Amino acid sequence: MSTRRDFLHLTAAMTGAMTAAGALARPAAALTPASGPGRPIPPAGGDALRLVTFLPDAGSTPRLGAVRADGRVVDLSRAALPGFDPARMVSLIEAGPAALDAVRGAAASGDGPPVETVRLLAPIPAPTRNIYAVGWNYLEHFAEGQAVRGTNMEYPAHPVFFTKGVNTVNGPYDPIPFDPEVSTAIDWEVELAVIIGTGGRNIPEADAMRHVFGYSVINDTTARDMQIKLHGGQWFKGKSLDGYGPIGPWIVPAADLDPADLHLITRVNGVVKQDASTRQMYFKVARIIAELSHGLTLVPGDIIATGTPPGIGNARKPPEFLKPGDVMETEIVGLGTLRNVIQAVPA
């Protein structure tokens, strides 16, 4: 097996074959993805719509679905809804409010298999543009980083932006590859992901929230040795390893969720490592969109990771990093939970 992408492709194929509920709930063994929730689905704001991209069984093709409150997945490709491609989340986003209303109706009246019997992919499995991300957006995280770096910088007056390559996108329950020849300092970062609905350029802060389609959970998994010690200290490479951006398990539309005070948690092997609220974000979602779109056009389906709170492994004493066999859970209470096993890439 020659590449990390080969590893991801193999494990993805294996997940697609694991459609029995018992198999999905079992702990991951070597080369077995951490498939399926393995836990009751966290509530997403009561009756909030939960939009997924999923595979109903082995050999099927990706399609859109809506997860009902009882945990069943309504297959939107069978609902004959007009105006968008039922295999592509971005097509639904581009179709606008009328299409979303139609999806709500189909979700309310439809039925389908239990979510633990299907394979959930990243909601937007193959974005065409890099993931935008915000650094140092929680004052406590900025401070813990200062302590590690031994610097005394002033807090930036504007958001710090960087991107993660599209190759980082990973499923909500799929493995994260660990290759010691690439990095042994793999760290966790729970973040709220904002999905852009209506595109625009030079978006006023007062209008910015109208451009949000919805929200998801993302872990900005990071190779700290690459980020800090290599490549001149720039962040792109250390943030852009294959599979280092698990996202999902679904998108909750903006109308169904208030992002102002969401509880963010990272657990490693059941131990809480990050525990904070989005109310601690220094630059709020509207300000982030306004600043990012200044002279830069945002388009439907763009993903923005809004920054991580304190508690990263690199800032701990001694530092802590992920290793093969670790289970990383990334949760935003009321939105969803990711569960990813760190798995060694075969030599």
Lowest average pLDDT, out of 22-36, 50-64, 188-202, 315-329, goes to 22-36
Q: Which two tokens stand for residue 124?
A: 């937007």
Residue 58 in this model has a pLDDT that exceeds 70: yes
Fill in the DSSP letter of residue 82: T
Predicted pLDDT at 119: 94
347, pLDDT greater than 70: yes
Predicted pLDDT of residue 148: 57
Residue pointed to by tokens 């630059």: 283
Q: In sequence order, what are the residues at sequence separation of 6 or more whose Cβ sits closer than 8 angstroms to the Cβ of residue 296?
A: 201
**Stated pTM of the model:** 0.87
Across the chain, mean pLDDT equals 86
In sequence order, which residues have a C-beta less than 8 Å from that of residue 6 and are 6 or more positions away? Answer: none
Alpha helices in 158-301 (DSSP H): 224-229, 236-239, 285-292
> CA–CA separation, 208 vs 134, rounded Å?
16
- Mention the CATH class of domain 4-344: alpha beta
Provide, rounded to the nearest whole percent, the portion of the chain with pLDDT above 90. Answer: 71
CB contact at 8 A, 49 and 107:
yes
Least confident window among 12-26, 37-51, 81-95: 12-26
Give the tens place of pLDDT for each residue, 120-149.
Answer: 999 999 999 999 999 889 877 555 555 555
* pLDDT-derived band at 156, boundaries 50, 70, 90: confident
DSSP letters of 4-49? HHHHHHHHHHHHHH--SHHHHHSPP-TT----S--SPPPPSTTT--
- The token pair at 53 is 């991209």
User: Vertex 294, ends 194 and 210: CA angle to 5°?
Assistant: 40
